[in-house]
Amino acid sequence: MLIGRVIGTVVATRKDEKLIGSKLMITQPLDLELNPKGDPIIAVDTVGAGIGELVVYTTGTAGRIAARKLDAPIDAAIIGIIDEMDFNKELLEGP
Amino acid sequence: MLIGRVIGTVVATRKDEKLIGSKLMITQPLDLELNPKGDPIIAVDTVGAGIGELVVYTTGTAGRIAARKLDAPIDAAIIGIIDEMDFNKELLEGP
Amino acid sequence: MLIGRVIGTVVATRKDEKLIGSKLMITQPLDLELNPKGDPIIAVDTVGAGIGELVVYTTGTAGRIAARKLDAPIDAAIIGIIDEMDFNKELLEGP
Amino acid sequence: MLIGRVIGTVVATRKDEKLIGSKLMITQPLDLELNPKGDPIIAVDTVGAGIGELVVYTTGTAGRIAARKLDAPIDAAIIGIIDEMDFNKELLEGP
Amino acid sequence: MLIGRVIGTVVATRKDEKLIGSKLMITQPLDLELNPKGDPIIAVDTVGAGIGELVVYTTGTAGRIAARKLDAPIDAAIIGIIDEMDFNKELLEGP
């Protein structure tokens, strides 16, 4: 899974009918310092994530599992809203 | 899923017979500002996307699901035509 | 799917027996201008692609589907020989 | 599979219910010299990995297999704690 | 599939029990000139590959297929030992 921030939505009237009812969120991948890293992806929201929220998202088949739509063409979904990240970057420093 | 623009088509007479009837669209991945990012991929059109249109595409097994061809060697498909993208990049700025 | 050029073959006597009979082609990913992009991959040929030909290849489970060998450890296959690519790069220019 | 170091955890109260009981570990991918490489991922712990430990993690469907939760939206899991890495970088030098 | 060189092994006493009996090989991805490219991955050996050997490896579900362990958390496996690579880089040159 990856860390991202929901920054918006995509509106698509003409789309795969299996996507009807799924919210397509523009989600920006982030690094540990919560800076943008790489380009945004479109993930289906499955946990009621709001714009601006810090989230965990999953990709591939796991996205369809999250959406409880195994027959939908989904390859990414938001699966958690991050309350807190605890980490120690010093663990990455050399001996 | 990812954001892209359909910029052309690929013609392949000799191909996997399961691809017959599927349109192979040259699709350029885009960043949030709709600038090209990375190299084009070939995605099967499943929503009647025209040349020049801004689309959402999906990859992997989701591509076959979109094409309703689970036994075809498809790993990418266009699943929606974008009407509108609403986002706020300021959400990515530091505190 | 991606665009590539077949530039050679790999010979492996000791290999997974499910690969017997499959041709392992060294395939160079290309950009739109048909320049090499990134490093070559090894794809199974399923359409009689010859050395030097411009092809479309697929990855992941789609590779096994293309090879009609769902129980073989294949993750990439050539699925079409490109006759023609029609595209308009001007569509990527800003307004 | 890839080599990483567990550097922390993510707390998410609102999340996919299938994730309840799974520990979400912030895992930093490493290179051979154990230096950070790329951005951290969130992997489910399946082997009792502690903060600071050097681990092997797996991605995609293999993550769900590791977690013994095929119906959970997991795409990465820690599957082993590294005791020792034996390698010879000279093998990579030219002739 | 990709080209790599086996450069070592990983020892992990605490690991997913489905990995018992599988050799975890540190495998360095290579480019066409057999120079290291990117960071090493951990692949399960399925063909008796020795340290230093030039191999073909596969990723994703294909890794589990190669290992004949569909219920193990494997996402990469060595599937062939390369005897010979025949290729013509001139095919990549412009007209």
Indicate whether B95 pLDDT > 60: no
Distance (Å) from the C-alpha of residue D92 to the closest C-alpha of chain A?
A: 23
Chains that touch B (3 or more CB pairs under 8 A): A, C
Indicate the pLDDT class of residue A93, thresholds 50, 70 and 90: confident
Give the CATH number of domain E2-85.
2.40.50.220
Burial E35-70 (b: 16+ CB within 10 A, else e): ebbebbbbbbbbbebeeebbbbbbbbbbbbbbbebe
What percent of chain E shows pLDDT beyond 70?
98
Q: Which of C3, C77, C87 sits opposite B73 (nearest CB)?
A: C77
Q: What is the pLDDT of residue A92?
A: 85
Contact C10 E3 (CB under 8 A): yes
Class of domain B2-71: mainly beta
Query: Tens of pLDDT along B74-85?
Result: 999 999 999 999
Q: Is CATH 2.40.50.220 correct for D2-10+18-67+76-84?
A: yes
Indicate whether E95 pLDDT > 70: no
User: Which residues of C fall within a CB distance of 8 Å from B41?
Assistant: 1-2
Average pLDDT over chain E, rounded to whole?
A: 96
Which of B79, B84, B86, B93 is the best mutation test for A, with the most CBs of A within 10 A?
B79
Stronger pLDDT, B92 or D64, i.e. the higher one: D64
Distance (Å) from the C-alpha of residue D47 to the closest C-alpha of chain A?
A: 18
Name the closest residue on chain C to residue B4, using Cα atoms.
C92
Q: What's the 3-state SS for chain C? A: CEEEEEEEEEECCCECHHHCCCCEEEEEEECCCCCECCCCEEEEECCCCCCCCEEEEEECHHHHHHHCCCCCCCCEEEEEECCEEEECHHHHCCC
Distance, in Å, from the CA atom of A52 to the CA atom of B32, rounded to the nearest integer, reads 16
Which of D17, D31, D39, D44 is the best mutation test for A, with the most CBs of A within 10 A?
D39
Distance, in Å, from the CA atom of E67 to the CA atom of A50, rounded to the nearest integer, reads 43
Rg of chain C over Cα atoms, rounded to whole angstroms, equals 15
Beta-bridge partner residues of E86 = C9
Query: Tens of pLDDT along E13-28?
Result: 999 999 999 999 999 9
For domain C1-9+20-71, which architecture applies?
Beta Barrel (2.40)
Distance, in Å, from the CA atom of B27 to the CA atom of A11, rounded to the nearest integer, reads 19
Distance, in Å, from the CA atom of C43 to the CA atom of B3, rounded to the nearest integer, reads 27
Distance, in Å, from the CA atom of A10 to the CA atom of A14, rounded to the nearest integer, reads 12
Q: What is the pLDDT of residue D92?
A: 85
Name the residue among C49, E72, C32, D20 with its Cα closest to residue B29. Answer: C32
B40-43, long-range: CB within 8 Å, 24+ apart, which pairs?
B40/B7, B40/C3, B40/C31, B40/C32, B40/C87, B41/B4, B41/B76, B41/C1, B41/C2, B42/B10, B42/B76, B42/C1, B42/C2, B42/C3, B42/C56, B43/B4, B43/B76, B43/B77, B43/B78, B43/C1
Query: Tens of pLDDT along E58-76?
Result: 999 999 999 999 999 999 9
Q: What is the DSSP letter of D62?
A: H
C60: left (phi over 0), alpha (psi -120 to 50) or beta: left
Average pLDDT over chain B, rounded to whole?
A: 96
Q: Averaged over E43-69, what is the pLDDT?
A: 98
Query: Tens of pLDDT along C1-21?
Result: 999 999 999 999 999 999 999
Q: What is the pLDDT of residue E94?
A: 61
Q: What is the pLDDT of residue C53?
A: 97
Indicate the pLDDT class of residue B94, thresholds 50, 70 and 90: low
Indicate whether D94 pLDDT > 90: no
Name the closest residue on chain E to residue D60, using Cα atoms.
E60
Q: What is the pLDDT of residue B93?
A: 82
Q: Which of E3, E84, E92 sits opposite C42 (nearest CB)?
A: E3
Contact C74 E37 (CB under 8 A): no
Q: What is the pTM of this model?
A: 0.96
DSSP 3-state assignment of E61?
Answer: helix
Tokens of C29: 């990913």
Q: What is the pLDDT of residue C94?
A: 61
Which of A16, A30, A45, A65 is the best mutation test for B, with the most CBs of B within 10 A?
A16
Indicate the pLDDT class of residue D93, thresholds 50, 70 and 90: confident
Q: Averaged over A7-32, what is the pLDDT?
A: 97
A88-92, B65-69, D70-74: the lowest-pLDDT one: A88-92
Query: Tens of pLDDT along D18-65?
Result: 999 999 999 999 999 999 999 999 999 999 999 999 999 999 999 999
Name the closest residue on chain E to residue C9, using Cα atoms.
E86
Indicate the pLDDT class of residue E93, thresholds 50, 70 and 90: confident
Q: What is the pLDDT of residue B1?
A: 98
Query: Tens of pLDDT along B33-62?
Result: 999 999 999 999 999 999 999 999 999 999
Q: What is the ipTM of this complex?
A: 0.96
Indicate whether B92 pLDDT > 90: no
Domain boundaries in chain B? 2-71
Question: What ranges make up the beta strands (E) of chain B?
Answer: 2-11, 24-29, 41-45, 54-59, 76-81, 84-87
Distance, in Å, from the CA atom of B14 to the CA atom of B19, rounded to the nearest integer, reads 10
Residues of E with CB under 8 A from a CB of C: 1-3, 29, 31-32, 37, 46-48, 56, 58-63, 65-66, 77, 79-89, 91-92, 94
Q: Is CATH 2.40.50.220 correct for A2-84?
A: yes
User: Which residues of C fall within a CB distance of 8 Å from B36?
Assistant: 92
Q: Averaged over C66-94, what is the pLDDT?
A: 94
> Are D47 and E18 contacting, i.e. CB atoms less than 8 angstroms apart?
no
Distance, in Å, from the CA atom of E58 to the CA atom of E63, rounded to the nearest integer, reads 6
